[in-house]
A and B are shown apart, each in its own frame.
Chain A
Amino acid sequence: MIVNGISIDDTFAEAFAMRGTRLVITAHTLGWARTAAVSMTGFATSVIGCGCEAGIECELDARDTPDGRPGVAVLLFATSSSELTKQLERRVGQCVLTSPTSAVFSGIASGRPLPLGKTLRYFGDGHQISKVIGGRRYWRVPVMDGEFIAEDTAPMSDAVGGGNFLILASATSQALAAAEAAIEAMRRVSGAIMPFPGGVARSGSKIGSKYKTLIASTNDAFCPTLRASVKSELGPDVGCVLEIVIDGLTEDAVRNSMQAGLRAVCAAGAAGGIRRLSAGNYGGKLGKFHFPLRALLP
């Protein structure tokens, strides 16, 4: 399959079941809401080493937030509910509670509730105040700039993690330009995030390693510098490969996000230096969600 001169591999992205939740972080200004969200979703690129994968889903107008202040929606994903609970408490406690003027609310209507303000309230040392408003419990925790408002719980949702595609380009600048265009398009899709730096990963991994202590190692088949020494997937015209990984609250969110990204890359076409589009999978044996690239294009 060729789209705008780009060869689309007959392969699929293999994704896994995860647990996810959405939070709405608000603050006095959008800038401070963003600061809290960036801090909370930092060091959350991969469950392999970070415990969770997280990112900013979108920015919210003051009219669309519970407390009428500008805000940011963030998504958080983990492989288990217990890990998600742990990451939620740590990240909100260390990065949102501490951020000036912030407040945090759940962004999902229903699901198994995970503790949010329920545990953070103890920071109030007995001076915290519970308020049930409109059927939802909130905690008012006294802090040095006033009160930190946190919803009692945040519902958890079944989620999908690990959707992905690979951009194979002639050169670094062309791969970067295509990846940036893809990310810009994908950020307009709700319910999904791209957890890697800037949404893009250059260190795609394969399962296992020659070193017994490592559970993952470099995806040598897609490393241009190893073209001559391993069973490479790269032809002589490919000089740079970048990967975009997607986590979403639903299978559709991941599919729509992938589709938006793939279409944005294809719009650049072969003239933009893009040679192929591929995806990572494990033969379909590990993840129950499969996203064939050719079904998502044109």
Chain B
Amino acid sequence: MSDLVLRLRAAPAFRLDLSPVTPEKLAGQSAASVARMPLACGRRRLPLGEWFDVRGDVGERIVIEGDGTRLDRIGADMKDGQIRIDGNAGAYLGIGMGGGRIDVSGSVDAYAGCGLSGGVVRIQGDAGDFLGAALPGEHKGMRGGLVIVGGRVGDRAGDHMRRGLILAEGSCGDYCGSRMQGGTIATLGACGSRPGFAMRRGTLLFAGPAPVPGPTFNDGGELPLGFLVLLERSWKELPSRFATLARPSTRVRRWLGDLAFGGEGELIHWPG
């Protein structure tokens, strides 16, 4: 696989919009022309080479090296190919992504996987607030694809989420799955307050500590749910701690809610 490597020389003073940097948008360009490509930085548009050393060939994969905390919209609208970030990434990672794969070795800022409809986003560090959520004013968050977070997830993960899967190996913040309409969020860690607030449908699966549901969730008691085997088996090949999840039984405790919003969503506690 040929790699195009962008090495960040120093952290930019302002936030940089890296949305033009995807394998498909750069297809056919040389490293030199990539270095001349303008990037939005505040009110200005400056060539990418102002911040990055560019080497390698444009191909299926782009590698971004350095502290990318201020690099926003990496992999935006990506449909194919791979982006690997050796370090942190900024906000809106993979926004609108429909396919391909993004791997981040560090942590990311808010709105990662926002509006995701396909592909895989893997974050080995922490994720900021509104992971897999909808942008303010929009009514559909993540609607497909897979997001894996190795560390902690911020507040309001999966806000307005419609479809897809978020796997959080660490803890989740407050209002996890708020206004959720479908899809699945699973976590191995603890969960903040009011999980599933205003959710209409969808599944929040807690494979670690039990959640503390809000007052608009009804306890459905313990019961076996066969679909958990399908979920567990589908995770076996994933680069995640969820791959080794082994539960002796599908008997779980389940709460239904949010009853103020239709009550067809579910919180499931699946202890080991």
**Contact residues of A with B, CB < 8 Å?**
66-69, 103, 126-127, 129-134, 138, 140, 146-147, 149
Contact = CB atoms under 8 A, between A and B. Distances in A.
Interface string B209-224: 0000000000000011
A134 B234 contact: yes
B226 A133 contact: no
Nearest to B163: A132
Contacts of B184: 131
B229 A138 contact: no
Given A129-B264, A131-B184, A134-B234, A147 B229 contact: no
Contact of A67 (B144, B223, B229): B229
Contacts of A66: 230, 233
Contacts of B229: 67-68
B201 interface: yes
B264 A67 contact: no
A131 B233 contact: no
B60 to A, nearest CB: 21
B171 interface: no
Closest 9 CB pairs of A and B: A134-B234, A67-B229, A133-B230, A133-B234, A68-B229, A149-B226, A140-B227, A67-B226, A149-B227
B227 A147 contact: yes
Nearest to A126: B264
Chain B: interface size category? 10 to 19
Contacts of A127: 264
Nearest to B183: A132
A67 B225 CA distance: 11
Interface in B212-266: 223-227, 229-231, 233-234, 264, 266
A103 B228 CA distance: 13
A146 B224 contact: yes
A146 B163 contact: no
A132 B264 CA distance: 17
A183 B226 CA distance: 35
A68 B144 CA distance: 26
Nearest to A140: B227
B225 A147 contact: yes
A112 B226 CA distance: 27
A133 to B, nearest CB: 5
Chain B CB count within 10 A is highest, among A67, A103, A138, for A67
Given A133-B230, A140-B227, A147-B227, 14 more contacts: A66-B230, A66-B233, A67-B227, A67-B230, A68-B233, A69-B226, A127-B264, A129-B264, A131-B231, A133-B231, A133-B234, A134-B234, A146-B225, A149-B230
B22 interface: no
Given A68-B233, A129-B201, A146 B226 contact: yes
B253 to A, nearest CB: 14
A33 to B, nearest CB: 13
Given A66-B230, A66-B233, A133-B234, A146 B223 contact: yes
Nearest to A151: B230
A231 to B, nearest CB: 59
Contacts of A68: 229, 233
Nearest to B201: A129
Given A66-B233, A68-B233, A131 B227 contact: yes
Contacts of A129: 201, 203, 264, 266
Contacts of A146: 223-226
